[in-house]
Chain A
């Protein structure tokens, strides 16, 4: 079953075509990586999917419903969760309060504290529960951002460069987490770290200058000459 699709999704910013005519289909439960060079339009594309950015043209369908005009908060209530590329946790609140805030719209009151504890354990922040989020290291703030997505128990989890700034051990833990979620949660993962893409994604979409350059399994994409020229060549 298809959980998310886009048709002809495009966005231009004052003449700059950031995303053009993207068709995407995500199967329920799949892990999809979205890769592409800096400025390829990845953040803009997922921004249109989750309602932060209004498309210039095109459509977004989620769970069999057209949601192109639906306000962002309602999409979240339908089961999307979004984590920001630029870390934006609430620095004045404790780690637990951050996750509680994220959970409150989706988790019944009685299960709130369990859900928070579980999400923090899964990302490995159990020891920092009471700490103020602003005092966390950058990597830990990234993990907190992920926990805030996880705790919502989303059907579609959109992660924008979650592993940026993580240590190698934390990246390994993140890979394991994605593999754990795979199958139940549909994941759209923007990622620059190729080892994460290769080890976690079911399929990969390559974006270049706002257009889909290639799509396939990690191995197919890695073997694609155009992709290598546009993107992987430099790595």
Chain B
């Protein structure tokens, strides 16, 4: 079988399995998996910038938050229905990521990390500041009646699962498509040797900006969908820990692999879930396992799989 055939089979296979799982999973895991798929979409977006372009952002919660609040505020204050609200979240994502990209890409390396962190922190403080609109730290609930998209009640678990799967499928396919396109290949080349790519006549800044906008917009749409599916919009989603989360998912799953973000999200989600069932010091267990994975699979789980077995993995 050709590499393309295998790639389609594997990724298509995963989506089919996820589709089928909703009929067999117990309610608890069913709900978890819906959440995981939305968070994994966020990580897929993060991976486009970090994994494929080599730019480490510490401020992706700003993009997630832009989508979440773009959606939530337009429902809450403008009376939007879910479809235009999601669109508002997407537009907010494009706008915020374009502006942040233009500003943050003036810096490189550690400065880029700090600048993205600072912008995200500014976003978080903005949410807290406009408390009349955002209800600050407390956040606000999106009522069941406001979550009906084209007659489909998104608070219903199976509809929610299906919507999460749809979002994840779209993100995964965009990511897969992108890395096989010339644009995606150029991003990988920039990650490997920026100077060399520049000397082949490529506009590095324009490519990086494109990567920030695509990555930020996927994060924003994930944020918007998250708020809509789980009915809550809160400041914690724009705070620093929420920027670190996709970084951990991607590192664990495998940077610069299409499947890595999903695998990392599942792994991390259940790691915390299981260890908190054993002890209250669950972050300790999670921490030890994370250190072990980084030691024994430095390229992440899918990265290791690619290195050892499946060289063709994108």
Binding site for B on A (CB under 8 A): 50, 52, 72-73, 76-77, 82, 84, 88, 90-93, 97, 101-102, 104-106, 148, 152
CB distance from B182 to the nearest CB of A (A): 6
CB distance from B299 to the nearest CB of A (A): 12
Which 7 interchain pairs have the tightest Cβ spacing?
A76-B201, A105-B201, A88-B196, A82-B199, A77-B201, A102-B200, A73-B201
Give the distance in Å from the alpha carbon of A84 to the alpha carbon of B196 in the complex.
Answer: 8
CB distance from A43 to the nearest CB of B (A): 13
Against A, the Cβ 8 Å flags (1 = close, 0 = not) of B270-289 are 00000000000000000000
Give the distance in Å from the alpha carbon of A105 to the alpha carbon of B201 in the complex.
Answer: 6
Interface of B is mostly: helix
Q: Could you count the A-B residue pairs with CB atoms below 8 Å apart for me: how many are there?
A: 46
Give the distance in Å from the alpha carbon of A97 to the alpha carbon of B189 in the complex.
Answer: 10
Give the chain A neighbours of B204 by CB distance below 8 A.
Answer: 73
The listed residue (B185, B189, B192, B195) touching A52 by CB distance below 8 A is B195
Give the chain B neighbours of A93 by CB distance below 8 A.
Answer: 185, 189
Give the chain A neighbours of B185 by CB distance below 8 A.
Answer: 93, 97, 101
Interface size (B, Cβ < 8 Å)? Answer: 17
Give the chain A neighbours of B19 by CB distance below 8 A.
Answer: none
CB distance from B71 to the nearest CB of A (A): 38
- Given known pairs A73-B204, A97-B185, A101-B186, the reply for A52 and B193 (CB within 8 Å) is no
Give the chain A neighbours of B201 by CB distance below 8 A.
Answer: 73, 76-77, 105-106, 152
**Inter-chain contact A73/B203, CB cutoff 8 Å:** yes
Give the distance in Å from the alpha carbon of A93 to the alpha carbon of B192 in the complex.
Answer: 10
**Inter-chain contact B192/A90, CB cutoff 8 Å:** yes
Give the chain B neighbours of A76 by CB distance below 8 A.
Answer: 199-201
Give the chain B neighbours of A148 by CB distance below 8 A.
Answer: 200
Give the distance in Å from the alpha carbon of A103 to the alpha carbon of B236 in the complex.
Answer: 47
- Given known pairs A97-B185, A101-B189, A104-B182, the reply for A72 and B199 (CB within 8 Å) is yes
The 21 sampled A-B contact pairs (Cβ below 8 Å) are: A50-B199, A72-B198, A73-B198, A73-B201, A73-B203, A73-B204, A76-B199, A76-B201, A82-B199, A88-B193, A90-B192, A92-B188, A92-B192, A93-B185, A101-B197, A101-B200, A104-B186, A105-B200, A105-B201, A148-B200, A152-B201
The listed residue (B188, B192, B202) touching A105 by CB distance below 8 A is B202
Binding site for A on B (CB under 8 A): 182, 185-186, 188-189, 192-193, 195-204
Give the distance in Å from the alpha carbon of A84 to the alpha carbon of B200 in the complex.
Answer: 11
Give the distance in Å from the alpha carbon of A106 to the alpha carbon of B201 in the complex.
Answer: 8
Give the chain A neighbours of B200 by CB distance below 8 A.
Answer: 76, 101-102, 105, 148, 152
Give the distance in Å from the alpha carbon of A117 to the alpha carbon of B196 in the complex.
Answer: 21
Give the distance in Å from the alpha carbon of A140 to the alpha carbon of B199 in the complex.
Answer: 20
**Inter-chain contact B193/A90, CB cutoff 8 Å:** yes
Most buried by A among B188, B189, B200: B200
Give the distance in Å from the alpha carbon of A102 to the alpha carbon of B189 in the complex.
Answer: 11
CB distance from B144 to the nearest CB of A (A): 49
For residue A154, which residue of chain B has the nearest CB? B201
With A76-B201, A90-B192 given, can you name 11 additional A-B contacts, CB distance below 8 Å? A72-B198, A72-B199, A73-B202, A73-B203, A76-B199, A77-B201, A84-B199, A88-B193, A88-B195, A93-B185, A97-B185
**Inter-chain contact B199/A52, CB cutoff 8 Å:** yes
